[in-house]
Each structure stands twice: as C-alpha cells, then as structure tokens.
Structure 1
C-alpha cells in the first residue's frame, strides 16, 4: 500500500491563524525517516522524520496578514495543503469555569451575538478529556472556525471579548483563539510533566505512567494512602476487611442519595457512604479474570471485591469499569463494596442500575448487579486523598489531553482564569510558576502570561477577617510579579457575591486586551512607615487614584502580626500613592480588599480597579 501523505498535528488546520513575528513551527507525522518539505508563500523549509515518523519544520517569521494563504506539506508519498490561513496573534485561553463560561451566559448576549461575525477572529475549541501521559492527538479532533454568532455562542466569553477588543484596536492583526477549559479543575491538572516533576516529584510521574499502562496496578500502588487516611479518620477501623462492622440499610431507591428522604443525606449530601452488593459465580466463572462495571459514582469511589481494592476514580460523570483478577474471585457469593465520597451537590449513583454488572472471563454473559444495594453512612466527613489520575485535580491530566496535542505552535500569549478550586490549597504561586514555564517550553519563550485575579464571591463582611480567596489573589500577584512577561488582570470588582460565575466577562475581556497590548494596569508596589504615616505606592496608575462613590477608599486595613490586630483605616489619596495616618497600634502589613467578596471603590483615573493585595510595611 502507498504511504499516506504527511499531515500536521491536530491543532493545525484549514482556517487557522499562524503567530506573527515568530518562527512558524510545524509538527506532524509521516513515514519514518522520510524527508519532508513545507511551503508557505515564498518560504520553504525541509526536515526529516524520525524513526516514528514525527517531524518538526520551522519556517521564517511572518508579519500580520489578513490575506488568506495556503500551506503545503509534502514528501515522496504525496502532499497535504491547508487553506485560508491568516497570520496574526494566537492565544490559549485556559482555566476553569469562569474562563469556560460562554458568550451565551455573559452580558448583553443577543446584541453581542448579532455583531459577533468577524472573519479575522478564528476559534478552536478543545473537547474535555484527561490522560495520564501526554497525548499526540485530541479525543475529538477540533476544527478552526471563523467567528460568527453561531460559533462564538458556546465559546469562552472572556477569550472572545479579549479578541474583539484587540480587533477594535487594530483590524490589521487577525486573532486566533484556542479554548481549552474545564469547570472545577485544579491548577495542577494543567501542569506539564516537567511541572509535575518539579512540584510533586518523580514518583507522581511514575505512578501516572503506570496508570497509563495498567490502571489496576496503579490502584494497588496508591490505595495504601487511602487506607492510612481512613484508619486515621475512623479510629483505626477497616470496614473493607470486615463490612459487617458497619450499620447497613437498604437504599431507599436507586438514585442520587440526595433523594433518600429521612436518611440525613437528603439534608447534607456531602458525605462518605459505603455501598454494598453481592453477585454469584460458578466454580468455572471464578477461575477467570473478569470486569466490574459500577456505572458513574458522584464524585469519587474506591471499589473493593471481596475486600480487595480494584479501582479508584474521581469524576461525577465517569463510567467505572475495573479489571478483576481471578485470585480476587471465589465460587458462590462475591461481595462488592464501594466507598463513595461526594464533595458537592449530588452524590452517589449517577445513572440507572443497567450500568452496573459483572462480566466473567473475556466473553461471558454479564451478571446484572441490580438496584437492591445496601448503604451505610459514615461518620467520616473529610475528603479522601486524590489519586494523581483523577479527572478534576489529577496531576497534569488536562494538560496531557487538552494542551499537549496542540504541539509546539508559537503563541502570543495565554489568558488564565482559574483558582477557585485551589482556594485553601498551598503554593498557588509556585503552581503558576510551573505553568508559565511549561507553556513557554511548548509555545515559545515570548508568550505573555495574563492571569485573572479572582472575582468577588461569597459573604460580605463588615469587619476585617481572614480570607482564603484573598490569600489566593495575593499569590496570583506574587506569581505575576516574579515573571518578567506576565500581567495581572483583576476581576475583583465585577463579580457577583451570590454567583461564583459572574456574567460580566465583557469588561474582563477588554482588560485582558489592555494587558496584552502592554498597557500598564494598577499594581501594588511598596508600603513604608515614615513621619507618622504609612505610604503605599502603586505602579500602572493613570489619572491618579480615585475613590468612587464616596469620600474615601473602602476596604483598606492596617494589621500587626495577628488577624485580630487588623482594622479598617481611612487613607488619603495623592496621585499614585495612598497615605494612611498611623494610629498608634502595631502595623506590619497593609491590605486592600482582603475579603472573599470585598466592596471595591478604589480605581485609577481610567476606571481600572486596584487589585486586592497585602504588602509588608518597611519600617
């Protein structure tokens, strides 16, 4: 058979945008060892495929162009041509649900969709999936599309409105947008293997590689952590060894346990619950390895057969099918235990009982597990340890499936809106450092990192208080300040305290465009005590500091060493500085908007908000 013509990776295609001003890096696949050429306009380049048929070709940098161009990749077996390509600025927009939130859920949807069409904005939307090791292809191969009312409707609103503002500023530069997001995802899920190694060590990488080859073996390596956690939380008990020590009741119905009226789970579904069922095998069936399907469990499960752990999965809509070795089975009755944990909203069985069955051997008839399960609600309320391969907080699993296949194409920048899932977790600034490093290793050292500081969300307070959201916002600042080509874009004033998904992505997109364009945005710089007052200086201020809607800036605190020492103060605004009269009490730190959902009225003359921050006071 004739060899197939060479092709580029799955993120390259008709209608795409190539990055201007940087080498055009192309990666693809052909026959092993064969010479490959690329032609784009008057530029040509050649390379040779490696022993697995992979090749990388680099063409010279090109200026922005809205004139459609064609790219041809050829070797001795044939050629492949990609048509209608533009040259401009390409962005990856990534994070969790607030970057994922589509135009249809943002402000002014109908009017915005009516004027959305712009052939100079091209969109690529990556489907959600995870992988324990980097993949070369997407689960569902995406296609580049020009912006229209239909194509942008379910695309990231913050990302699209950034592009729209950039196009308003300069119509000569086309914009390419890559949407790769997952609601509820943790930052660590987007780490490259190098970032995983740096933050979590070689053992975590090795366990992920084991899972890619053999999920059963990886489970056996991981579950000792779960056992240690359970024993500590449950006074040393081990229900998987002796299930009869638990108080078992028939489940009221096969459904989410939120619907089990009178069980307590209908009032508080965030819980650890044991589920039990049995099935019968003949002597012959028990001599063969089989597979156990337990449907989808919301959110997390560790599943046992006859006291032996067989699978550990996080993911509320993920179907579980676990390999069961013959040595775990026996003739007669076999017992299934599921230790299920729910952290949010609905918990337990996701779907119907038809999804639950045991299949003996490689081709045996499935044995239904039915709907008559038993349950035992545990007194343990903490959350189990997360396996490195789980869906939302697995280490690198979203990068591996949703970013790695993009390949080494050059980008102008990355817009990152994530952090809600990491509130209360340590070292967010270090996670961002590794994300920045990983993105630049893949997409080029010139890629600008734009970090959205979390919006205001939660309970309003009238007194200074500790805040996990504020702490994470400060770590976002720390990460940006430690990077020479990063910018903070705060959303602290455009959130909705009662809605974790604020709709005003329109203004957020405009702020992202300002940041990419190099327009300085307000940032805290320093705080010093001298002459009986604390002076706080800022960078990126235009038109001086302004307190909107009142005589003074709200939410400014002086603090000593403890939280109890924090108190609200009344600053004086002078140009790009804020002066706070000393009040005779200990003052080692100054804070602004240090709350989950602060009320912010401190802006510069352009209407750009001052981010939430904490600064040490130089004495």
Structure 2
C-alpha cells in the first residue's frame, strides 16, 4: 500500500496549472522519447503569453500558431507513417524547446483502478533477460494523478521513458505486457499512457456531460459541477471568508474556551468510543456539532524521518488536530482525506497526546473511514467529550472543496482525461469494476456511457476500447448463489454491444485471497489479442468460448458457443463451473461434458431444467473449459432473475472502505 500512500499525498496536496504563461511551455505529454500516433493528423499544443507567435519545425517544414487570449496554442502536424526517431523544434518569442528521439506509432491510453495501476514491482516481476527488456520501440508514460471540478488544461506531471530493465519497474504491469505483445506482433512503436488510480469507481472517470443523463448524480452535479468553479477558485473564496466565519460560528464551545487540546486537560470524566465509527451508531445519536477525541501514541521504534505522516483518513465533516498541544492541521469536508505532516521535533518517542475536534454539520458524524493505509493511531479506543451542539439546519456552511479521488464523480476525468483529449490515439484499454461491484446493474449504463463519452471527447470516431472482465476473487461458495461480482462481469459483457469493443476474460487467473492477482502477463496478452482482432483486424482467435444459445433436451441443457472462438477443450472428462435450475429457480452444481463442440449440462435431481449458469460466482474455483487456443470460456447466465444489485445506485453519502 506504500504506492497508494504516495499517490494520496500527491493528489491531495493538489496542483494548479496556470492559464497564462510568461514563456513557452509544452503540454506535459510532449517530451523527448514520446510516441505520436501514426496515420492521423497529430495536434501538438502548449502555452505561452497571449498573442505570441509559435513556430514548430519538423522534417524541414515550419508550422505556426498564435497563442490565444487564454494562453494556449495548438499546431497540427499532417499524418505520418510509423517510424523515427525524429527531432521536433518548437520556438516562441524568447525560448525554444527541442524534442528528441520522437517516434510515430500507436498510442494507447491505459485506464482503470488498481489492477491496471499495479506495477511490475508490485507483482514481483523481474525480466529474465535484461538486455531483451531494452525495447526502444516501447515507450511508457505514467501520469501524475490530479483532480478538479472543472476540466484541466494540462496533466499534473509525467515523463516518457523508453522501456528498459531499469525503467519498467514502476510502470503498470498490465499495460506493459499489453504493449510488449503489440510491439512484438506489429513491429511498430507503441506508446502507453498509464492514467489510472487504485480503488476508484467508474463515475470518477466520467465527465459531467456523461453523468448528466443519470438522476442519481444530479444533486452532486448541481452543487459541485454546475457552478464551474475550480478547486483553486473555491478555496480562494473560502479562505477570504474563513476568519470571520470561524470567529462568529466555528471557534465556539467550552472546549475551545478551556483549551481542551492541551495535554494537561483533565479527561477523567471523558467517555470512550471505538474508531473508526459514526458516533450516531454508538454514543451520540442525533448529535450535530463539536465532539473532542483524545488518545496517546508512540512513534515507531525505527522512526528517523524529519516529518511524521499522520493519516486520519476521512472525517465527517470538519476537524482540527493538535499533537502535544500544538495545532498540526485542520480539514473541511466529509469526503476529503486527512494527511498531516508533523515535524519530528514536536514529537516524543512515547506518550504523544493527539487531540481532534470533530465538527459535524448534519447527518452522521465522526472519524468514520478505516482504510487500510491509515495510521494504526486512528484505530481503536479514544477518549471523547461532547461539546458545542448546533442546529444543522441553520448553521452557516461555507462552500469548500470536498472530494475523494476514489468516489467523487467527474474529478478524475477532469484532472487526467480532459487534458489529453486533443491527443491523437489508437485506442483505450481499461481494467476497472471492483469498486462498482455493489452497484453492478447501474454499471450496465455507466460503463457504455463512459465509453461513448470518451470517444466523443477525443473526436476520433469509435476508437477501439478493449477492457478486462473482473477475475475470480474471494472464497469459493459451497452452493450456487447470487454474486455482486458475477453481476458486474455481466454488466461489463453487455458493453460489447458497442462497436469496436473487446473483452479479455480473466475468470481463471484470479486469486481467492488477493484482489490483485499477480498474473498480469496473461491479462496484458489477452487484452492484446482483443486489440489485434478489434483494432488491427488480425484474423486470429482473440477470445475463448462465448455463449451463443441453449436447447433443452429432456433432462439436459445443451449449451452452444459462438462460431469463431475455436474448438472447446478440457483436460478433464467433466466440466466444472456449471449450475442448473428448474422452474423453482433453485440452482444446483451440475455435471457437464463436451459433445460436438457444445456442452451438455444436467443434474440428477432435475428432470425439467429451465436455465443454466456458468462461472456465476465471485470465485467459481478452478475451471477447466477452454478453447484449443488456451483461452477460457466466458461466464454467463440464461435466466432473467432479478439482480442482487438492481436497486443500488450512487449516493453522496461518504464512501467507506
């Protein structure tokens, strides 16, 4: 989880790209060692002073643009065949930039959550042949993740590198193996933009326009997206009114008057409460206002850093934090993540006193989020004392930035996808869904809406969109039943109705005890097979057996598979993973075997079957139905029973791990 902690700090510190620039600056994407899309006109853009003339020189030809009032400029190169390396010179009034070792090839954006983000280091991969790992035709770019309520003009950061044994370790493992397979097959340069973040739900990656048809997002959109105010604008306005608001409304109560934040405060009458929790669920039902929390903690025995990172995760709604009587931070908003840097000189090896004033402005209150990367300090019993009580209906609530990178709609799209929508690309790969499994039926609409919107925003037609279906995960169930993850896989598969889409089935390579299966090599290769078929029109077997239809014959169901997915194959006589039901809709594990390239499914206790399911489970266990190309059969169900997640929709309530 160390990588996620680092990402937290980078995101939550925030970064603001200026809209006006004193000198020439290229958008973050444009650097030496980059790959530009072949066979399409290629926009190159950046920033400079308004009205400044920009000249781009490429292949002995000059292209010019004049910077607009907003400080931006854009020059479009004509389509180029695959090749390179080239140099590109960009000149402004008083500055010039030379891009070296530039290739033209295919550019893929690699998005999603942690299974796309997980690096080669995290899966423990080391190339056996370090010389062969040096691949000048494979170029890698990992975007620094950012957020905002409005679309940003540039990425927060990122660097292009050529793939080598030294450079690949911190790059997305899935994306790397995908790109490697394409480069080996196509023999053209491949550029990979890794733009992803662990634990994120799909709505964070959707634009305001894509979310607008869905009523469950309207209250949030009206409050935060419709005003079209950036984080910087909102924070500036809050800081301007904050001193007066604090004095009149917020710095009130006995605790502030008596300085309960001091270590010598008598807490003999304070009660205890378990954290993380909502205090309404424990000791203080219906209470809005200030509650003080206190405990002691020791530093780690090997602590030698200049600062101690205090991670308190999410607090509802406001907080002020003191350590050993000194204020070390404050926060506003029940979604924001609290990460406070405490100077080491303020701390003792043992018995440091931390005091937190939590202020709830309505609904539930408390230190509620127990994410796995929070400090152990957060967890366990705290002393607490109730203080100032407010009327939540009349208490003045300032407008503040209030976001979680994992669940707040549109903010990751605005920070990371919007800045690259001008870029010429070949397509997208996507591995996400775990965070939406509890709302799988909703995902049936959100996922296609996101695909359509990304294509619309990039203005390059129905560019290929290749995605990974969720792998098997969690403990096997002794009997067939309902499953959030199975429903999410079904929702993913329904997106194949859109043109130029492909799905890599991973139902056989997950791990029961790890949501991040280590076999990212097969994930990347299977995504590459789908890309070769869908994006490059290669005549290959790109997917495993896919359900096409069924027939009921006596006491059995005959399952037919789609043509073009190769011959069915299994090392065993009987096929695992099938379940069968009669009109009672009670499913039972079935017996199944291959005959004439179909699967015969039956169960001795059912004489009149009506429906069948395959791999319909969080984790159906070891499966053995493949095609002769070694690709697994895709999960499916033939029944139309109500889905477990049918009535679960996005909510603005704080999102808890």
Does TM, normalized by the shorter one, top 0.5? yes
Alignment of 1:308-327 (within 5 A): 311-314=332-335, 316=337, 318-319=339-340
| Deviation by residue 1:278-309 (Cα, 9 ceiling, x = unmatched) | 99xxxxxxxxxxxxxx974223431279xxx9
User: 2:578 maps to what in 1?
Assistant: 556
Q: 2:185 aligns with which of 164, 169, 182?
A: 169
Change (3 A) 1:25 1:540: farther
The one of 479, 491, 497 equivalent to 1:475 is 491
- Counterpart contact for 1:9–1:406, Cα < 8 Å: no
SS of match in other structure, 2:368: strand
2:467 maps to 451
Describe the superposition over 1:302-340 as per-residue Cα deviations: whole angstroms up to 9, x where unpaired.
1279xxx982143555459xxxxxxxxxxxxx9753622
Q: Residue deviations 1:32-51, cap 9 Å, x none?
A: 34554434326654444332
Q: Give the total of aligned pairs.
A: 513
Distance in 1, Cα, partners of 2:629 & 2:413: 37
Task: Please say if 1:394 is aligned against 2:408.
Answer: yes
User: Cα distance 1:217–1:546, how it changes in 2: closer, same or farther (>3 A)?
Assistant: farther
Give the alignment's Cα RMSD to 1 decimal: 3.9
What is the aligned counterpart of 2:628 among 584, 602, 605? 605
- For 2:145 and 2:222, the matched residues in 1 are separated by 22
Contact 1:525 1:539 in 2 (8 A): yes
Work out whether 1:428 is the aligned partner of 2:450.
no
- Counterpart contact for 2:120–2:172, Cα < 8 Å: yes
Contact between 1:185 and 1:421, CA under 8 Å: does it hold in 2?
yes
Q: In structure 2, do the counterparts of structure 1 residues 206 and 374 end up closer, same or farther at CA, with 3 Å as the change threshold?
A: closer
Does the 8 A contact of 2:134 with 2:164 survive in 1?
yes
- Tell me the SS of whatever aligns to 1:104: coil
Partner of 1:418: 432
Match of 2:567 among 528, 534, 544: 544
Deviation of 1:218 after TM superposition, in Å, equals 9.7
- Distance change (3 Å), C-alpha of 1:557 and 1:571: same
Indicate the SS of the match to 1:163.
helix
Match of 2:210 in 1: 195
Q: Residues of 2 paired with 1:128 and 1:525: CA distance?
A: 39
Q: Which of 33, 42, 53 pairs up with 1:24?
A: 42
> TM-score, normalised on structure 1?
0.73
Match of 2:194 among 179, 191, 201: 179
Instruction: Note if contact 1:20-1:89 (Cα within 8 Å) is conserved in structure 2.
Output: yes
User: Contact 1:413–1:448 (CA<8 Å) still a contact in 2?
Assistant: yes
**Structure 1: how far apart are the matches of 2:82 and 2:608?**
58
Measured in 1, the distance between the counterparts of 2:92 and 2:230 equals 37
Tell me how far apart the structure 1 counterparts of residues 219 and 409 of structure 2 sit (CA, whole Å): 12
SS of the counterpart of 2:317?
Answer: strand
Query: 1:83 aligned to 2:100?
Result: yes
Judge conservation of contact 1:106–1:506 (CA < 8 Å) in 2.
no
Distance in 2 (alpha carbons) for counterparts of 1:514 and 1:455? 17
Structure 2-normalised TM-score?
0.69
Corresponding residue of 1:59: 77
Cα gap change, 1:54 to 1:601, in 2 (>3 Å): same
Residues 1:71 and 2:85 are matched in the alignment = no
